[in-house]
Amino acid sequence: YMGDIKVQAVNKYGSGPEPNTVTGYSSEDIPEAAPSNVIVQVINSSLAKVIWSTIPKDRVRGHLKGYKVNWWKIRNRLDEKNHHPEKHSLTFKADRNDGMIPGLEPFSIYHLTVLAFNSKGNGPESIAYEFQTPEGVPEKLHFLKILNFEKDSV
């Protein structure tokens, strides 16, 4: 667990200089809190930015290593078929409270969570945040079949 530590030398002539306070850890356990205030800003059809509030130091229960952002596609908005979620994950350093999520599919609905981790393991995930990507740029035409061609046709 975390605590503030000060060590000051004292002898028969008095106390030494006032020391700086440092944070020490007696033993670690997994973080007991999830990041809060998760927000997703969709940049375009394949990229989003996620922002979260970091967890308080006293809830880390050890030395914070970083944050993991997990996301998975729920469904494509065109076919409305539910997908078997394939979870994707990115890790960010402990001093970060935001990150970019690349490789999203256009016109899709996603869920995203954020968690803190230390050397003992992952803390609880945040509440799932749902977001949607916009329709993307049309793909290159691979095949065209003209059924009724006349000189006045377009």
Cα–Cα distance, 11 to 118 (Å, whole number): 39
Provide the residue ranges of all domains of the chain, joining segments of one domain with +: 39-133
Position 153 pLDDT exceeds 60: no
Position 96 pLDDT exceeds 90: yes
Given this model, what pLDDT does residue 128 score? 97
Q: Which tens digits make up the pLDDT trace of 56-90?
A: 999 999 999 999 999 999 988 877 677 677 899 99
- Return all residues near 84 (Cβ < 8 A) that are at least 6 apart: none
Pick the CATH number of 39-133 from 2.60.40.10, 2.30.110.10, 3.10.580.10, 1.25.40.10: 2.60.40.10
Q: Are 128 and 37 in contact (CB under 8 A)?
A: no
Given this model, what pLDDT does residue 136 score? 75
Secondary structure class of 58 (helix, strand, coil): helix
Global pTM reads: 0.73
